[in-house]
């Protein structure tokens, strides 16, 4: 069982899982709360011993003791703050990798709302809360009965007054919990939508500027932002109202304890020292509740963030395999496949079956929205099947972990996305152990070696975010090199020639021939007939169903016209086949 599955679901459980930090917090909180009695007992001694005896040496001795104890209290408070900061960092270090993995794998699961980065923001939320003063208040709360017990030792009426105040503030804390939960959740959702809209505008800035609809987007942004501000203000108003009310109640309770103490002094049932000391003690006893209410919004946000993190990490965890399968070398088999988008119950691919042997290339054709790209996503393991199976050498894809399966697959999606970094980084799939030989071999296989070394920095050329420094054709060819890195058995190319010129299409054809010659399997999704010149077989999709599958010539020339595809599309493919032959 992976580590994430055993992670605690609450903050107390999370802190306890970090045993050293939790032990340190427990010890420091114990000492801090014991030393917090310093002020109360100092007042008790001053009023009951120093003033009646008029003894300055006693007062000086008490001052020395109090300064020393307050110094230790400051040191322990600082130590606890540093420990909380280290716990926050430890939580980030422990879970951020799997949180990022969850973001990276989100395309193969139910789409997340907003910009898809909520898991990363949740890590920041949890770390920020654990590093702040909120957890300190939670660790101080168990000491409240201890302080209230001391108040009862002073006098039962002082204890009863303090207990009544504690019940009132506890009720306010529960009210904060009940009323802030839903507004906090809504604020997080709207924030994600707001950030997604801003990120989309940034990524499409060229189209926005060129077609002059920045003002229209700004108007829409104002509406989205207004929703966020309204939600944030509602949550802040609610929590701040309860926080100020709790602070006022605590001050009122202090005065009430003083009044009760004064009555007891008048009735000669208590001393002046007890009256002052009990007031300070009650303030200390109720301070953690007040502080917890003041930070309740952060607590609620962090708890919801942790719940989402726990759920996402469970989904992204890989189940360890006791037996590692050998690299596939023989065939790709698709058996009665039913497939749909993650989170949807409507199948896009219905009952598709075919088999491809090593050394074969298959062209997948069909009209728009026939399911070609969806089939590609299923074959490479991005989308999980509703029914049926996809097998490499007889083993279903589920028998590999994603990392192990990825080493045997090369995938060029319809929209090529490259990452900030060098050309070499992108070709090598950011493998830190990648050798120069493998990178150069992939570049040569894709026919981009000469293009890359033509850049001033060659393979060390930084391409910017999403390869912005390259043209669309260059990005597509480097994406092809990435797909061919380390000679994967299965290579799936979705519209691989959509941005290529004549020389690029020639290099693509040579790359496909290279895959076939080393006994790999190639699936090519094509709209342009030139991409079919190097395939052995053709699979025709229409409405998510396989209308024909077989040798290219037989499917395009002798197959039943209605079963192949619709009119002009078939004529275009037949013309291309004739030209290629």
User: Could you list the mean pLDDT of each consecutive 10-residue stretch along the chain, which spans 581 residues?
Assistant: 41 53 78 84 83 86 90 88 81 74 63 64 80 77 84 87 85 78 78 78 72 78 84 80 81 85 86 83 81 75 77 62 82 92 86 92 89 90 88 90 86 86 91 91 92 92 83 89 93 87 85 92 81 84 90 71 37 42 35
At 352, is the secondary structure helix, strand, or coil?
A: strand
How, if at all, do strands 349-357 and 361-365 pair? unpaired
Question: What would the two tokens of residue 50 be?
Answer: 């120093």
How, if at all, do strands 385-392 and 361-365 pair? unpaired
pLDDT value of residue 566? 37
Task: Compute the distance between CA of residue 548 and CA of residue 572 in angstroms, rounded to an integer.
Answer: 17
Residue 182: CA atoms inside 13 Å, Cβ hemisphere, count?
A: 3
pLDDT value of residue 579? 40
Buried b (16+ CB within 10 A) or exposed e, 378-404: bbbbbbebbebebbbbeeebeebebee
Contact status, residue 335 vs residue 388, Cβ threshold 8 Å: yes
Contact status, residue 341 vs residue 386, Cβ threshold 8 Å: no
Question: What would the two tokens of residue 3 be?
Answer: 């580590």
**Angle between helices 156-203 and 118-130 in degrees, nearest 10:** 150
Contact status, residue 548 vs residue 559, Cβ threshold 8 Å: yes
Spatial neighbors of 490 by CB under 8 A, at least 6 apart, are: 328, 332, 379, 380, 392, 408, 409, 410, 520, 521, 523
Q: What is the DSSP letter of 385?
A: E
Query: Which CA distances in Å does 531 have to 321, 361, 362?
Result: 38, 11, 10
Q: Cα 57 from chain centroid?
A: 62
Task: Compute the distance between CA of residue 200 and CA of residue 328 in angstroms, rounded to an integer.
Answer: 39
Query: Which CA distances in Å does 306 have to 95, 260, 293, 310?
Result: 11, 44, 19, 6
Cα torsion angle, 342, 344, 348, 352, sign: positive
pLDDT value of residue 580? 39
pTM over 0.85: no
Beta bridge partners of 338: 387
Q: Residue 523: phi, psi to the nearest 5?
A: -115, 125
Task: Compute the distance between CA of residue 59 and CA of residue 547 in angstroms, rounded to an integer.
Answer: 99
Contact status, residue 523 vs residue 517, Cβ threshold 8 Å: no
Contact status, residue 371 vs residue 292, Cβ threshold 8 Å: no
In angstroms and rounded to an integer, the radius of gyration of the C-alpha atoms of the chain is 34
Of residues 425, 383, 426, 431, the one with CA closest to residue 403: 431
Of residues 265, 413, 393, 408, the one with CA closest to residue 331: 393
pLDDT value of residue 573? 41
| Edge-to-edge order in the sheet of strand 385-392 | 349-357, 331-339, 385-392, 395-396
First vs last Cα of the chain: how many Å apart? 55
Contact status, residue 280 vs residue 47, Cβ threshold 8 Å: no
Question: What would the two tokens of residue 343 be?
Answer: 């989170």
Task: Compute the distance between CA of residue 90 and CA of residue 454 in angstroms, rounded to an integer.
Answer: 45
Which domains can be identified in the chain, with CATH numbers?
11-315 (1.20.1560.10), 331-558 (3.40.50.300)
Task: Compute the distance between CA of residue 554 and CA of residue 538 in angstroms, rounded to an integer.
Answer: 9
Contact status, residue 546 vs residue 369, Cβ threshold 8 Å: no
Of residues 364, 397, 394, 393, the one with CA closest to residue 380: 397
Task: Compute the distance between CA of residue 109 and CA of residue 119 in angstroms, rounded to an integer.
Answer: 14
Contact status, residue 572 vs residue 366, Cβ threshold 8 Å: no
3-state helix, strand, coil in the chain (%, to 5): 65, 10, 25
At 421, is the secondary structure helix, strand, or coil?
A: coil
Of residues 145, 240, 128, 125, the one with CA closest to residue 185: 125
Task: Compute the distance between CA of residue 73 and CA of residue 268 in angstroms, rounded to an integer.
Answer: 34
Hunting for tokens 């926050």 — which residue is that? 88
Query: Which CA distances in Å does 396 have to 289, 328, 389, 546?
Result: 56, 11, 7, 21
């Amino acid at each position: 069982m992976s580590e994430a599955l055993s992670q605690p679901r609450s903050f107390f459980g999370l802190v306890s899982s970090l045993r050293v930090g939790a032990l340190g917090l427990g010890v420091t909180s114990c000492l801090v709360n014991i030393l917090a009695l310093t002020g109360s007992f100092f007042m008790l001694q001053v009023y009951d011993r120093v003033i009646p005896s008029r003894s300055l040496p006693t007062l000086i001795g008490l001052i020395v003791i109090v300064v020393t104890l307050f110094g230790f209290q400051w040191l322990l408070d600082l130590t606890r703050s540093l420990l909380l900061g280290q716990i926050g960092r430890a939580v980030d270090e422990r879970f951020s990798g799997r949180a990022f993995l969850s973001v990276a794998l989100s395309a193969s699961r139910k789409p997340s709302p907003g910009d898809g980065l909520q898991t990363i923001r949740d890590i920041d939320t949890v770390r920020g809360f654990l590093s702040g003063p909120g957890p300190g208040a939670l660790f101080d709360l168990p000491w409240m009965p201890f302080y209230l017990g001391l108040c009862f030792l002073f006098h039962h009426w002082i204890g009863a007054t303090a207990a009544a105040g504690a019940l009132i503030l506890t009720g306010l804390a529960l009210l904060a919990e009940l009323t802030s939960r839903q507004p906090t959740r809504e604020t997080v959702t709207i924030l994600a939508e707001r950030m997604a809209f801003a990120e989309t505008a940034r990524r499409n800035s060229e189209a926005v500027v060129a077609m002059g609809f920045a003002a229209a987007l700004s108007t829409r942004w104002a509406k989205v932002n207004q929703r966020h501000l309204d939600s944030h203000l509602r949550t802040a108003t609610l929590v701040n109202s309860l926080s100020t009310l709790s602070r006022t109640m605590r001050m009122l309770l202090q005065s009430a304890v003083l009044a009760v103490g004064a009555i007891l002094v008048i009735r000669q049932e208590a001393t002046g020292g007890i009256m002052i000391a009990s007031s300070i003690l009650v303030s200390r006893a109720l301070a953690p509740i007040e502080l917890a209410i003041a930070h309740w919004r952060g607590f609620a946000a962090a708890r919801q963030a942790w719940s989402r993190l726990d759920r996402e990490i469970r989904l992204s965890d890989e189940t360890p395999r006791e037996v590692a399968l050998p690299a596939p070398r023989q065939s790709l088999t698709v058996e009665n496949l039913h497939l749909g988008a993650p989170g949807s119950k409507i199948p896009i691919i219905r009952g598709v079956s075919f088999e491809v042997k090593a050394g074969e290339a298959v062209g997948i054709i069909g009209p728009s929205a026939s399911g070609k790209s969806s089939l590609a996503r299923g074959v490479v393991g991005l989308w999980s099947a509703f029914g049926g199976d996809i097998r490499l050498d007889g083993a279903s894809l589920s028998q590999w972990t994603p990392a192990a399966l990825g080493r045997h697959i090369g995938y060029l999606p319809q929209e090529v996305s490259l990452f900030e970094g060098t050309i070499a980084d992108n070709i090598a799939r950011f493998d830190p152990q990648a050798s120069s030989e493998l990178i150069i071999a992939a570049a040569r296989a894709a026919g981009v070696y000469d293009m890359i070394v033509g850049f001033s920095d060659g393979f060390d050329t930084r391409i910017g975010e999403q390869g912005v420094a390259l043209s669309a054709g260059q990005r597509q060819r480097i994406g092809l090199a990435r797909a061919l890195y380390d000679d994967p058995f299965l290579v799936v190319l979705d519209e691989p020639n959509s941005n290529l010129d004549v020389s690029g299409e020639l290099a693509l054809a040579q790359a496909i021939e290279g895959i076939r010659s080393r006994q790999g399997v190639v699936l090519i999704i094509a709209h342009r007939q030139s991409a079919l010149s190097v395939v052995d077989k053709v699979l025709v999709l229409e409405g998510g169903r396989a209308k024909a599958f077989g040798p290219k010539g037989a499917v395009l020339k002798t197959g039943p016209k209605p079963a192949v595809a619709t009119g002009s599309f078939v004529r275009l493919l037949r013309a291309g086949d004739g030209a290629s032959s």
